[in-house]
Amino acid sequence: MKAVLRALAWALFCFSVPAFAQVVFDNPLVRQRADPHVTLHTDGWYYFTATVPEYDRIELRRARSLDALGSADAQAVWRKHASGPMSAHIWAPELHHIDGKWYLYFTAGRADAIWDIRLYVLENSAANPLEGSWTERGQLKTGRESFSLDATTFVHAGQRYLAWTQSAPETTRKATNIYLARMDTPTSIEGKPVLLSTPQYAWEQVKHEVNEAPAVLQKNGKVFLTYSASATDANYAMGMLTAAAGANLLDPAAWRKAPAPVFASANGQYGPGHNSFTTTPDGKTDILVYHARNYRDILGDPLKNPDRATRAQTVAWRADGTPDFGQPVPDRGRVASKPLFRDPVFDGAADPVIVRNPMRGTWWMFYTNRRATAPNLPGVAWVHGTRIGIAESRDDGASWAYLGTADITLPQGQDATHWAPDIVRADDGAWHMFLTVVPGVFTDWQHPRQIVHLTSTDLRTWGNAQDIKLASDRVIDAGVARLPGGGWRMWYNNERDRKSIYYADSPDLVTWTDRGRVVADQAGEGPKVFQWRGAWWMITDVWRGLAVYRSPDAMTWTRQQDNLLEQPGQGAGDGVIGGHCDVVVSGDRAYVVYFTHPGRSGADAKKDGMEQRRSVLQVTQLFQDGETLRVERDTPTRILLRAD
């Protein structure tokens, strides 16, 4: 009963209304960096270190703002040993400036015994920790030899303390606890450590019994020690201990432990924890820096997953002087590049489709790589002989880097033209591509084209090509979607029937039955069909922008009056109509990714030179107004593609 009352009191306490200065950050600040630690030094720089996914080195970087840390140069200041101590599991570095020197506290194991985890210290006397040399000061002894990690240090009432995580060697219980001791030097403790916290609540014992990663915040006459608990997946959460500033911090009875998490998964942020604290440059606003993933389900061991990313948000303060961490704020996304992407080979990117690559933890964009800058190509030969380019985004869609071309094997041979892929993933994990194929390179449009089905296990190499029998010998631009009741539907352009949109159904993505015409009110190509906000939507390229249709059942379609992207935009490469798009639905948002011909404007619009052939990819967010869609192409687009 007492435990229930304590939990109820804490819940009421957490719902009190805070007052604080709100600062919004461009989360995630640094991708694939866990266990973040930020130091705002007297020189005005934010110094940042964190665990790298390879667990093999310690990096430092600095920036004038937290938002700039992600783009700051990362310098490896120390690397693991080849063998012996400090040769495996390099974790949780923290940077502290003590008595005129810099110290890095970190965790490491041994290559021959990777779970023999202990605490170690590096020292640097340079004014700038990215300069000078780092000296190994050896193991930071805690008075007992057992699994030890996550050291932090702080000063209270003139005394420096060390807080850390360690398993109790005197028990067979596989749990990690929080300990505290005085420090007599920056590399050693004195006296007997005291146990402050052990996993006692159910929320601290999910999959593993864990209290780890202590961090200290001092304010309003109190000392707050946060820690993280449970497995390092979506169950990971922050707890908190509180002591009065005048108390004896080495007396466990001086600390009050919150019975419920103070910070847990919410708003698309999973497993928030292993935090540190800093402030705004003026020191007036406290900031929580932590890691979290932006998806819940993890394949394999969470410790081998690289996608914990560093995030930050302001700390609110209640009227009684205690912190209110609230919930993890949802990521806003980064402002997308303008243009979003240019192909570095032929500068002719068009017809995009975007999929998540779970093997790399990134997003891949496949596109028709038109040969816009190839010299001396007559007629429309530059649109033929094309391959499918691949670009990759590591920042949830805001920027893209060229990777090369898809390795596609076709019975039509190496001279075949590849156009307008669409890609979906089946329940068994296999990838399926639906590719428009033209059997050669031609100078006009009067030649057969068909849709070919291919499969892949890695998204890079595609084979098992099979022609799909559809309504005619002139079909292009497949768009495939999963049906709610099971099976799949393909929409495509039948050029033999006034470029009307047709459709076909399949139970397995291999065997298809053509169902005939579905949209014929106007010519169009590149049908993209998706579900969003309770309706089916189809967007087609009608060469004067993008037409939009709405359907309750993916069968009967009603066209909206206005086209998207018909009016030229003002951004770089966006001053013309938009064409052939993909739509990516991410949470409640939807983004339309389209191509433009930047050179087809002004007095030279009708010419057929390289500048007019050149095409780039752009992105803008979709907005719904009742039963219609609209875009704001001149508004900077904050894009956030979510893995779930």
Secondary element (H or E) of residue 14: helix 2-14
Q: Torsions phi, psi of 101, nearest 5?
A: -125, 160
Give the residue from 317, 404, 333 showing the smallest Cα distance to 369. Answer: 404
CB 344 within 8 A of CB 361: no
Helical (H) or strand (E) element with 450 = strand 450-456
CA distances (Å), origin 8, targets 203, 256, 259: 16, 15, 9
DSSP bridge partners of 424: 432
Q: How far apart are CA 205 and CA 175, in angstroms?
A: 9
Q: Cα separation of 208 and 204, whole Å?
A: 8
Which has the closest alpha carbon to 192: 120, 106, 250, 253? 250
Number of other residues whose CB lies within 10 A of the CB of residue 188: 15
Q: What amino acid occupies position 95?
A: L
Residue type, 153: T
Is residue 212 annotated as a catalytic residue, yes or no?
yes
Written as six digits, the tokens of 525 are 């190509």
Q: Which residue has the tokens 């998540």?
A: 356
The answer to whether residue 347 is catalytic is: no
Cis-peptide, bond into residue 186, ω within 30° of zero: no
Spell out the residues 6+ positions from residue 350 whose beta carbon is closer than 8 angstroms to its own.
367, 368, 370, 579, 580, 595, 615, 617
Contact between residue 138 and residue 185 where contact means Cβ atoms under 8 Å apart: no
Half-sphere exposure of residue 416, counting CA atoms within 13 Å on the CB side?
A: 21
Which one, of 152, 137, 598, 483, lies nearest residue 491 by Cα? 483
Stretch (H or E) spanning 395: none
Among 59, 204, 212, 396, the active-site one is 212
Handedness of CA 207, 210, 216, 220 (dihedral sign): positive
Whole-angstrom distance, CA of residue 154 vs CA of residue 150: 14
Out of 26, 35, 477, 525, pick the active-site residue.
35
| DSSP label at residue 399 | -
Tell me 524's DSSP state: -
CA 598 to chain centre: 30
Q: Whose CA is closest to 497, among 469, 529, 459, 470?
A: 470
Q: Which residues are designated catalytic?
A: 35, 212
